[in-house]
Structure 1
């Protein structure tokens, strides 16, 4: 199934959530430019993601819970920026039902030096 695209260049949490509802995934890619990819991610109950090949930044839109990043686990809340280097095990745990986050992938496979 081809992913729906956001209207023009305006990407908001509301229109991202609507596009995600039309897909069969827990995330949706909304924008690409060069090495940058912007996604909207809203897991349900359990975050099953695996380590990624590129560096990434999360910006929490809504919800609270705990974020595991390598060997650390700490609480998160809306507005927080979370960085994960390429290849590092990470996941969101014990998050509220309203949890959603922006995801920004960038740089080469293997991460930036």
Structure 2
């Protein structure tokens, strides 16, 4: 497991990851694309992304920051 703070500037260019992920929104608002599902987010929200799924933050405010937690085996939990 690893934990870090993620704060993209203007554009979120991340690619799918090899482990499952949790995002815990610290500050800011915006939209989160998780596969084909788009969700609005705000501080305190928790977002889950299975390993290998295309995802990114869009239309986020300048103060956007989130904890990101990578966990489990490569390829995700089955």
> Which TM-score bucket, shorter chain as reference?
over 0.9
Distance in 1 between the 2:46 and 2:77 partners? Answer: 18
Per-residue CA deviation, residues 56-85 of structure 1 (Å, 9 max, x unaligned), is 000000000000000000100000000000
Instruction: Find the counterpart in structure 1 of residue 24 from structure 2.
Output: 59
If the length of structure 2 is used for normalisation, what is the TM-score?
A: 0.99
Q: Which runs of 5+ in 2 are unaligned?
A: none
Structure with the higher strand share, 1 or 2: 2
Matched, 1:39 2:41: no
Higher RCO, Cα 8 Å, sep 6+: 2
Instruction: Find the counterpart in structure 2 of residue 89 from structure 1.
Output: 54
Per-residue CA deviation, residues 8-37 of structure 1 (Å, 9 max, x unaligned), is xxxxxxxxxxxxxxxxxxxxxxxxxxxx10
Instruction: Find runs of 4+ consecutive structure 1 residues off by over 3 angstroms.
Output: none
Aligned residues: 78
If the length of structure 1 is used for normalisation, what is the TM-score?
A: 0.69
Distance in 1 between the 2:75 and 2:3 partners? Answer: 18
| 1:1-113 map, 5 Å | 36-113=1-78
Structure exhibiting the larger radius of gyration computed from Cα positions: 1
Q: Which runs of 5+ in 1 are unaligned?
A: 1-35
Distance in 1 between the 2:46 and 2:2 partners? Answer: 16
Structure with the higher helix share, 1 or 2: 1
